[in-house]
Amino acid sequence: MLMIVGLLSLCFNYGQSMSEGAPITACGDMFPSHGFPTQYTSPPYKITFEPPEYSPGQDIKVSLEKTTKLGFKGFLLMFRDSDDFITGSFKKHGEDEFNSVACDNPDDTVAITHVSSAVKKKVSFIWKAPDDASGPVTLKWTVVQEYGMYWVDQQITLNEAE
Protein backbone atom coordinates (compact mmCIF):
# COMPACT_ATOMS: atom_id res chain seq x y z
CA MET A 1 0.00 0.00 0.00
CA LEU A 2 2.80 2.41 0.89
CA MET A 3 4.43 1.74 -2.48
CA ILE A 4 1.21 2.60 -4.35
CA VAL A 5 0.86 5.89 -2.45
CA GLY A 6 4.49 6.72 -3.26
CA LEU A 7 4.00 6.00 -6.97
CA LEU A 8 0.82 8.10 -7.09
CA SER A 9 2.68 10.95 -5.40
CA LEU A 10 5.46 10.79 -8.01
CA CYS A 11 2.94 10.81 -10.86
CA PHE A 12 1.12 13.82 -9.41
CA ASN A 13 4.33 15.78 -8.94
CA TYR A 14 5.53 14.89 -12.44
CA GLY A 15 2.40 16.30 -14.06
CA GLN A 16 2.35 19.45 -11.96
CA SER A 17 6.00 20.51 -12.00
CA MET A 18 5.63 23.45 -14.45
CA SER A 19 2.09 24.48 -13.56
CA GLU A 20 3.15 28.04 -12.67
CA GLY A 21 5.05 28.79 -15.84
CA ALA A 22 8.31 28.45 -17.66
CA PRO A 23 11.58 28.58 -15.69
CA ILE A 24 14.20 31.27 -16.33
CA THR A 25 16.32 28.63 -18.07
CA ALA A 26 13.78 28.66 -20.92
CA CYS A 27 14.74 32.23 -21.87
CA GLY A 28 17.53 31.03 -24.16
CA ASP A 29 16.22 27.93 -25.89
CA MET A 30 12.47 28.34 -25.22
CA PHE A 31 12.33 24.70 -23.98
CA PRO A 32 9.93 23.93 -21.10
CA SER A 33 12.29 21.31 -19.52
CA HIS A 34 9.59 18.65 -19.45
CA GLY A 35 11.95 15.95 -20.68
CA PHE A 36 10.13 15.15 -23.92
CA PRO A 37 11.08 16.05 -27.51
CA THR A 38 9.37 19.00 -29.18
CA GLN A 39 6.72 18.50 -31.85
CA TYR A 40 7.90 19.15 -35.39
CA THR A 41 4.49 19.61 -36.98
CA SER A 42 2.77 22.99 -37.25
CA PRO A 43 1.14 23.87 -33.92
CA PRO A 44 -2.67 23.90 -33.71
CA TYR A 45 -2.45 27.46 -32.35
CA LYS A 46 -2.00 30.90 -33.87
CA ILE A 47 -0.67 34.30 -32.91
CA THR A 48 -2.41 37.51 -33.97
CA PHE A 49 -1.38 41.16 -33.61
CA GLU A 50 -3.75 44.15 -33.35
CA PRO A 51 -2.83 46.34 -35.15
CA PRO A 52 -0.81 44.14 -37.54
CA GLU A 53 2.20 46.52 -37.54
CA TYR A 54 3.82 48.60 -34.79
CA SER A 55 5.23 52.08 -34.31
CA PRO A 56 7.86 52.92 -31.67
CA GLY A 57 6.27 53.23 -28.21
CA GLN A 58 2.96 51.76 -29.40
CA ASP A 59 0.85 49.19 -27.54
CA ILE A 60 0.08 46.05 -29.57
CA LYS A 61 -2.49 43.44 -28.56
CA VAL A 62 -0.92 39.99 -28.87
CA SER A 63 -3.25 36.96 -28.80
CA LEU A 64 -2.45 33.26 -28.67
CA GLU A 65 -5.42 31.04 -29.49
CA LYS A 66 -6.33 27.52 -30.47
CA THR A 67 -7.19 26.69 -34.08
CA THR A 68 -8.72 23.28 -33.31
CA LYS A 69 -10.77 21.90 -30.43
CA LEU A 70 -7.60 21.36 -28.39
CA GLY A 71 -6.73 24.06 -25.88
CA PHE A 72 -3.32 24.68 -24.35
CA LYS A 73 -1.99 24.61 -20.80
CA GLY A 74 1.19 26.63 -21.00
CA PHE A 75 3.06 29.24 -23.00
CA LEU A 76 6.16 31.40 -23.12
CA LEU A 77 6.26 34.59 -25.21
CA MET A 78 9.04 37.10 -25.88
CA PHE A 79 9.91 39.58 -28.61
CA ARG A 80 13.44 39.81 -30.01
CA ASP A 81 14.95 42.48 -32.22
CA SER A 82 17.13 41.93 -35.30
CA ASP A 83 20.19 41.53 -33.04
CA ASP A 84 18.36 38.78 -31.07
CA PHE A 85 18.02 40.93 -27.92
CA ILE A 86 14.77 40.70 -25.98
CA THR A 87 12.81 43.89 -26.64
CA GLY A 88 9.69 45.67 -25.41
CA SER A 89 7.58 44.74 -22.41
CA PHE A 90 4.25 43.08 -21.70
CA LYS A 91 1.32 44.18 -19.59
CA LYS A 92 -2.05 42.72 -18.69
CA HIS A 93 -5.01 42.88 -21.08
CA GLY A 94 -8.47 42.03 -19.76
CA GLU A 95 -8.75 39.05 -17.44
CA ASP A 96 -5.77 37.09 -18.74
CA GLU A 97 -3.02 36.71 -16.15
CA PHE A 98 0.65 35.95 -16.66
CA ASN A 99 3.89 35.49 -14.76
CA SER A 100 6.96 37.46 -15.75
CA VAL A 101 10.12 35.56 -16.57
CA ALA A 102 13.20 37.54 -15.50
CA CYS A 103 15.30 36.77 -18.57
CA ASP A 104 17.52 39.86 -18.72
CA ASN A 105 16.34 42.08 -15.88
CA PRO A 106 14.21 40.99 -12.92
CA ASP A 107 12.41 44.36 -12.94
CA ASP A 108 11.21 44.09 -16.54
CA THR A 109 8.29 42.14 -17.98
CA VAL A 110 10.12 41.17 -21.16
CA ALA A 111 8.97 37.55 -21.31
CA ILE A 112 5.71 36.11 -20.04
CA THR A 113 4.41 32.68 -19.17
CA HIS A 114 1.24 31.05 -17.82
CA VAL A 115 0.16 31.23 -14.15
CA SER A 116 -1.57 27.84 -14.05
CA SER A 117 -1.88 24.65 -16.05
CA ALA A 118 -5.63 25.14 -16.58
CA VAL A 119 -6.69 24.60 -20.20
CA LYS A 120 -6.88 27.85 -22.15
CA LYS A 121 -8.62 28.61 -25.45
CA LYS A 122 -7.20 32.09 -25.97
CA VAL A 123 -5.04 34.53 -24.06
CA SER A 124 -4.32 38.16 -24.94
CA PHE A 125 -1.75 40.60 -23.63
CA ILE A 126 -0.42 44.03 -24.50
CA TRP A 127 3.13 44.36 -25.78
CA LYS A 128 4.65 47.84 -25.63
CA ALA A 129 7.21 48.51 -28.33
CA PRO A 130 10.29 50.38 -27.10
CA ASP A 131 10.36 54.10 -27.86
CA ASP A 132 13.54 53.61 -29.90
CA ALA A 133 12.41 50.48 -31.76
CA SER A 134 12.94 50.23 -35.49
CA GLY A 135 12.62 47.52 -38.07
CA PRO A 136 10.95 44.13 -37.74
CA VAL A 137 10.80 42.30 -34.41
CA THR A 138 10.18 38.60 -33.91
CA LEU A 139 7.77 37.10 -31.41
CA LYS A 140 9.27 33.84 -30.22
CA TRP A 141 6.76 31.54 -28.57
CA THR A 142 6.44 28.09 -27.08
CA VAL A 143 3.07 26.51 -26.40
CA VAL A 144 2.31 23.45 -24.25
CA GLN A 145 -0.76 21.38 -25.06
CA GLU A 146 0.00 18.66 -22.50
CA TYR A 147 3.03 17.97 -20.34
CA GLY A 148 4.62 15.76 -23.03
CA MET A 149 3.33 17.60 -26.11
CA TYR A 150 4.62 21.06 -26.95
CA TRP A 151 5.88 23.22 -29.79
CA VAL A 152 9.12 25.07 -29.07
CA ASP A 153 10.57 28.33 -30.40
CA GLN A 154 7.86 29.16 -32.91
CA GLN A 155 8.43 32.53 -34.57
CA ILE A 156 6.33 35.22 -36.20
CA THR A 157 7.48 38.63 -37.43
CA LEU A 158 5.86 41.93 -36.48
CA ASN A 159 6.87 44.66 -38.91
CA GLU A 160 7.26 48.34 -38.16
CA ALA A 161 4.59 50.53 -39.75
CA GLU A 162 5.82 52.70 -42.61
Q: Do the Cβ atoms of 154 and 142 come closer than 8 Å?
A: yes
pLDDT averaged over every residue in the chain: 84
Distances (CA, A) of 119 to 52, 69, 100, 114, 152: 27, 11, 19, 10, 18
User: pTM of the predicted model, to two decimals?
Assistant: 0.82
- What are the structural domains, with CATH classification, of the chain? 19-160 (2.60.40.4060)
Q: How many CA atoms lie within 13 A of 51 on its CB side?
A: 9
pLDDT one-digit tens code per residue, 28-54: 777 787 888 889 999 999 999 999 999
